[in-house]
């Protein structure tokens, strides 16, 4: 029965409105007081039924909720035969709850839109080679799928054949189509605007990037910030306090109507709903713009940010370095052989510098690589064709007792001044090759960093494992506050810990793979995501598709959300104080007016929170 009544709340609200209108028309137009009274009595009984059930359910778990206050107030008004007040109060309370739920659903529009974007079917290649339409749940990893113009990509995958332009707005927030061809990665939920491609499924279902985005946004919107937890604790004691105040007023004044009015006016509805609606709307806005905020707590810390620390490669730079300078030492007749050793060793690594070396050398004779030893922060030492080959930085060469003559050191200094990252190759203890590798700074990063400064970030710091000359060059070009090179992962952690010990709130921006310890230690870990699993798992904020330009939007959004929360708290507390004061210092306040203002304040904080859905950073 309880479930049935609660399921019919909207119909009860409508029927109450009709009965109240009938009651007033009967009295004012037809002067039939009996019908008017019965209409208001029935409206009161119908209206209070779901409220009593909610109050009972709250008391069962030892919570004195708003429903308890309203139930006592309505029953009191009914007891003193003030049927107009009891009917109007129940209707306004139910109608307010209806509007509240309706507007709250709109603030969760990000989830709704994302869910609607989820692909439902796919064209799967069957055993006979033909493509047939199947439910997306029937697609397994390794299946070959056909995607036609205008269709949604059903899974995360890799293009096998074909070419086309894909709108990746659901993943990155950017509506500009991206060209895809053989070996390009594609994501579920994106739309092929033109062309036809065949893809092989890499990740399906909830494991896709799109599925994880939906899961993360849902979890974030359901999480509670410190402000929400405080308000929950406050409401726990505040509501019983209103009951006690009402009882004291009745004992002193013996005016039960005044006591009942205090119960209605003291309802903390706007206070309870104001902060969550701001958080939900803010997180939803971020999801639509390629920024994943993983929980309400992130918003609080991010909005008070002092210092932002950046990794260099793949964050401030594109992460696709190229060999810019090269020097050969020793016997030039064996250059090709040494380069072949170098390429064979670097193929063992997925580091961006290693990829640049392999790309530069190109096709060469492959050698078997044995006894590979990865030296953290140094490079790789391995046995190739009976030779000990060391590939890495100057520190690794010193550790391997490689002698560097005056010319070699001069070349190293020159390469560093030019902003190169260094890759030195030694064979059997002798330096053979010195390569200088440069990465391009991301387009627009300098302007984005200026926006961060205007948003109140005091310190912009770059930490990198590269040499100090390279890091200084990047810092000067971008106008950073500090630059530190030769930083191992533990050095970066120690630097961040030192900043935190000084009372600073620190955000670390990295690629989510090599910098996961720093991402975890900083109050706000921000991953340049590219939709990778590691980035999504290890950080507090993910910038989808490694879109650095989303970082100022993310910071501006969290500041706007925190500001919006404060506004809602002020509105909620202010309205309650004004209403309670008006009971004692005015003659016009009654239960109906109080409930109307009370519901109006709830709608005010909800509508204020909903402004965040359309937030855009003003540059």
Torsion of CA 437, 441, 442, 447, to 10 degrees: 170
CA distance 516 to 538: 6
Known catalytic membership, residue 143: no
Across 46-141, the runs of DSSP E, i.e. the strands, are 121-125, 131-135
Please compute, for residue 247, the number of CA atoms within 13 A of its CA located in the half-sphere on the CB side: 8
Q: Which residues contact 256 (CB under 8 A, 6 or more apart)?
A: 76, 79, 80, 250
Name the catalytic one among 67, 156, 301, 311: 311
The candidate with the shortest Cα–Cα distance to 232, out of 64, 344, 115, is 64
CA distance 435 to 426: 12
CA distance 20 to 5: 20
The candidate with the shortest Cα–Cα distance to 504, out of 464, 567, 456, is 456
Q: Which residues contact 330 (CB under 8 A, 6 or more apart)?
A: 430, 431, 432
Across 187-311, the runs of DSSP E, i.e. the strands, are 191-203, 291-293, 307-311
For the four alpha carbons of 310, 314, 319 and 321, in that order, the dihedral sign comes to positive
Helix (H) or strand (E) holding 426: strand 421-427
What is the 8-class DSSP label of residue 513? S
Please answer whether residues 74 and 48 qualify as being in contact, where contact means their C-beta atoms are separated by less than 8 angstroms: yes
Taking CA atoms, 126 is separated from 130, 145, 395, in Å, by 6, 10, 56
The candidate with the shortest Cα–Cα distance to 460, out of 483, 486, 491, 489, is 483
* Rama region for 150: left / alpha / beta (φ>0; ψ in -120 to 50; rest): left
Annotated catalytic sites, by residue? 311
């Amino acid at each position: 029965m309880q479930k049935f009544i609660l399921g019919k709340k909207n119909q009860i609200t409508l029927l109450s409105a009709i009965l109240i209108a009938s009651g007033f028309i009967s009295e004012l137009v037809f002067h039939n007081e009996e019908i008017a009274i019965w209409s208001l009595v029935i409206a009161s009984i119908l209206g209070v039924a779901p409220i009593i059930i909610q109050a009972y359910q709250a008391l069962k778990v030892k919570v004195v909720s708003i429903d308890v206050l309203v139930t006592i107030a309505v029953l009191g008004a009914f007891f003193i035969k003030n049927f107009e007040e009891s009917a109007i109060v129940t209707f306004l309370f139910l109608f307010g709850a209806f509007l509240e739920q309706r507007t709250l659903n709109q603030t969760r529009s990000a989830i709704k839109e994302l869910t609607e974007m989820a692909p439902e079917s796919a064209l799967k290649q069957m055993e006979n080679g033909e493509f047939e339409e199947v439910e997306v749940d029937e697609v397994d990893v390794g299946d070959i799928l056909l995607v036609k113009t205008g269709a949604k990509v059903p899974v995360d995958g890799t293009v096998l054949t074909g070419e086309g332009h894909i709108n990746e707005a659901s993943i990155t927030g950017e509506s500009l189509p991206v060209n895809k061809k053989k070996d390009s990665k594609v994501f579920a939920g994106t739309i092929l605007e033109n062309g036809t491609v065949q893809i092989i499924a890499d990740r399906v279902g909830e494991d896709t990037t799109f599925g994880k985005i939906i899961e993360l946004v849902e979890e974030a919107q359901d999480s509670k910030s410190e402000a929400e937890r405080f308000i929950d604790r406050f409401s726990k004691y505040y509501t019983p306090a209103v009951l006690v105040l009402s009882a004291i007023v009745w004992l002193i004044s013996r005016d039960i109507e005044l006591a009942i009015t205090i119960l209605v006016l003291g309802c903390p509805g706007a206070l309870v709903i104001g902060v969550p609606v701001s958080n939900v709307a803010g997180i939803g806005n971020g999801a639509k713009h390629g920024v994943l905020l993983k929980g309400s707590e992130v918003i609080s810390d991010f909005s008070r940010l002092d210092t932002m620390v950046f990794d260099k490669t793949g964050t401030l730079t594109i992460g696709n370095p190229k060999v810019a300078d090269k020097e050969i030492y020793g016997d030039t007749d064996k250059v090709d052989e040494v380069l072949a050793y170098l390429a064979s060793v670097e193929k063992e690594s997925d580091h961006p510098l290693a990829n640049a070396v392999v790309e530069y050398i190109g096709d060469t004779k492959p050698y078997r690589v044995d006894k590979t030893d990865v030296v953290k922060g140094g490079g790789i030492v391995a046995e190739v064709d009976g030779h000990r080959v060391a590939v890495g930085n100057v520190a690794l060469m010193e550790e391997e007792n490689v002698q560097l003559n005056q010319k070699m050191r001069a070349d190293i200094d020159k390469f560093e001044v030019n902003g190169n990252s260094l890759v030195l190759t030694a064979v059997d203890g002798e330096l053979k090759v010195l390569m200088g590798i440069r990465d391009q700074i991301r387009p627009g990063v300098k302007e984005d960093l200026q926006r961060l400064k205007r948003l109140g970030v005091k310190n912009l710091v770059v930490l990198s494992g590269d040499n100090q000359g390279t890091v200084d060059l990047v810092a000067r070009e971008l106008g950073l506050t500090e630059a530190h090179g030769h930083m191992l992962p533990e050095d970066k952690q120690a630097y961040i810990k030192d900043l935190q010990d000084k009372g600073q709130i620190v955000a670390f921006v990295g690629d989510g793979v090599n910098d996961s310890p720093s991402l975890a230690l900083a109050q706000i870990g921000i991953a340049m995501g590219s939709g990778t699993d590691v980035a999504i798992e290890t950080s507090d904020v993910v910038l989808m598709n490694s879109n650095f330009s989303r970082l100022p939007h993310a910071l501006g959004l969290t500041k706007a959300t925190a500001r919006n929360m404060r506004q809602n708290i002020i509105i909620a507390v202010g309205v309650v104080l004004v209403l309670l004061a008006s009971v004692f210092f005015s003659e016009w306040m009654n239960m109906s007016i109080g409930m109307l203002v009370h519901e109006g304040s709830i709608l005010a904080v909800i509508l204020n929170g909903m402004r965040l859905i359309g937030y855009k950073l003003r540059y």
